[in-house]
Amino acid sequence: MNPSPLLFDVHLDLAMNALEWNRDLRGSLESVRRREQHLKDRPDRGNGVVTFPEMRRGRMGLCVATQIARTVDRFSRMPGWASPEQAWAQTQGQLAWYREMESQGELRQIRDRSGLERHLTDWSAEGATPKAIGYILSLEGADSIVTPAHLERAYSQGLRAVGLTHYGPGRCGGGTDDDQPLTPFGRELLAEVERLGMILDVTHLCDASFRDALDRFGGPVWASHSNCRTLADWNRQFTDEQIRELVARDAVIGVAVDAIMLVHGWRHLKSTPAEFQLTLERVADHIDHVCQIAGNANHVGIGSDADGAFGTEQMPQDLQSIADLQRLVGILGRRGYTQPDIEGIFSGNFLGFLRRVWS
Ligand SMILES: [Zn+2]
């Protein structure tokens, strides 16, 4: 039997979980869940699926991990900081947690081609599961970038990918559920992303800002956690036309496991996975839809978002740990995907993307 393929998950909010959910990711899943038994402050309490030991068990040797902090204006009902300076400080706190995990050998920051290759060599040794999980730092929504000069500082800290927006209107333009193009500040920042050779993450752009950003940006583009609107009708997901455009730009799209992004008609905080008989087969449907549009299996990967403020209450029922993503090997295999296809989806497509960008 072949060993499980290396898994490269291109979207996890590890530091947000550590510092806002107060999860010590070094422990077992059971220990994290037990600590939350009495908590009712968030809908996913006790339902988490991500810890470092579970990532290793699922052969997740590498991930893209976020800094995330939004700002909102004073009339907004969405959560967020009152100023970019506070949001910046929040992301710097998240960075301090990543650094501490690096110093303990739990994580290893990957910031260039040679570091990537060295890390992959460690993880490719037969039967080896090294302790250090590689992570590439990404920013989910750029409200926290106080001035363009802060982006250069963030780059020097290892930041390699930037999403300009998150939910609703932001400092850079329209995010999910909004309908505005980029703001003047967003356009200025986008030019800085390109100048620094960073990756533009187009996840969470609304249709207007997606159009605006792609028209202006000449650098590398990926989508860290985005699904197909044809299969889950909401502007959070890409239309077939948008997927076609991303494929034409040699982008790779990470498919997410969030139920609300997988099926039509999911009602947030009301629907259950059982009602939809939701399994990882549905994740494979989204992977397959991207492949059918592309005409090959080279433009899709996994950006699970499996710790993105939801847990098992909003996930496929056969995903009780991040390690269960390995079940996709069998599911895709039964659909006729070859082993090289599956290895590409699990890691190779995004690794190839990074090798091109960092060559
Ligand atoms: Zn997100």
Strands 253-255 and 300-302: parallel
Q: Which of 92, 68, 87, 70 is nearest to 170 (CA)?
A: 70
Strands 221-222 and 199-201: parallel
Query: Is there a domain that residue 2 lies in?
Result: no
Question: Structural domain tally of the chain?
Answer: 1
Query: Is there a domain that residue 63 lies in?
Result: yes
Distance from residue 204's CA to the centre of ligand 1 (Å)? 7
The amino acid at residue 1 is: M
Distance from residue 3's CA to the centre of ligand 1 (Å)? 31
Cα separation, 107 vs 48, in Å, equals 19
Please, which residues bridge with residue 64 across strands? 136
The answer to whether 90 and 118 are in contact (CB under 8 A) is no
Distances (CA, A) of 220 to 182, 216, 265: 18, 12, 33
Report the pLDDT value the prediction gives residue 125, as an integer from 0 to 100.
79
Cα separation, 277 vs 262, in Å, equals 12
Tokens of 126: 């037969």
Distance from residue 266's CA to the centre of ligand 1 (Å)? 17
pTM of the shown model: 0.97
Cα separation, 330 vs 45, in Å, equals 30
Distance from residue 10's CA to the centre of ligand 1 (Å)? 11
pLDDT digits (tens, 9 = 90+) for 27-59: 999 999 999 999 999 999 999 999 999 999 999
Distance from residue 128's CA to the centre of ligand 1 (Å)? 32
Cα separation, 110 vs 148, in Å, equals 23
- In angstroms and rounded to an integer, the radius of gyration of the C-alpha atoms of the chain is 19
Report the pLDDT value the prediction gives residue 2, as an integer from 0 to 100.
57
Q: Which of 224, 171, 217, 183 is nearest to 201 (CA)?
A: 224
CA angle (338 as vertex; 334, 340 as ends), nearest 5? 140
Tokens of 216: 């202006």
Distance from residue 166's CA to the centre of ligand 1 (Å)? 7
Distance from residue 81's CA to the centre of ligand 1 (Å)? 17
Query: Is there a domain that residue 1 lies in?
Result: no
Query: Is there a domain that residue 89 lies in?
Result: yes
Query: Is there a domain that residue 141 lies in?
Result: yes
Regions in the chain scoring below 50 on pLDDT? 1
Distance from residue 171's CA to the centre of ligand 1 (Å)? 17
Distance from residue 305's CA to the centre of ligand 1 (Å)? 7
Domain that holds residue 130: 8-357
Residue 81: which CATH number? 3.20.20.140
Query: Is there a domain that residue 144 lies in?
Result: yes
Distance from residue 170's CA to the centre of ligand 1 (Å)? 14
Distance from residue 4's CA to the centre of ligand 1 (Å)? 27
Locate the DSSP E strands across the chain: 8-12, 62-67, 107-109, 133-140, 159-163, 199-201, 221-222, 253-255, 300-302
Q: Which of 287, 300, 299, 302 is nearest to 332 (CA)?
A: 287
Distance from residue 308's CA to the centre of ligand 1 (Å)? 7
Q: Which of 330, 328, 226 is nearest to 280 (CA)?
A: 328
Query: Is there a domain that residue 239 lies in?
Result: yes
Query: Is there a domain that residue 229 lies in?
Result: yes
Q: Which of 44, 54, 353, 45 is nearest to 201 (CA)?
A: 353
SS3 171: coil
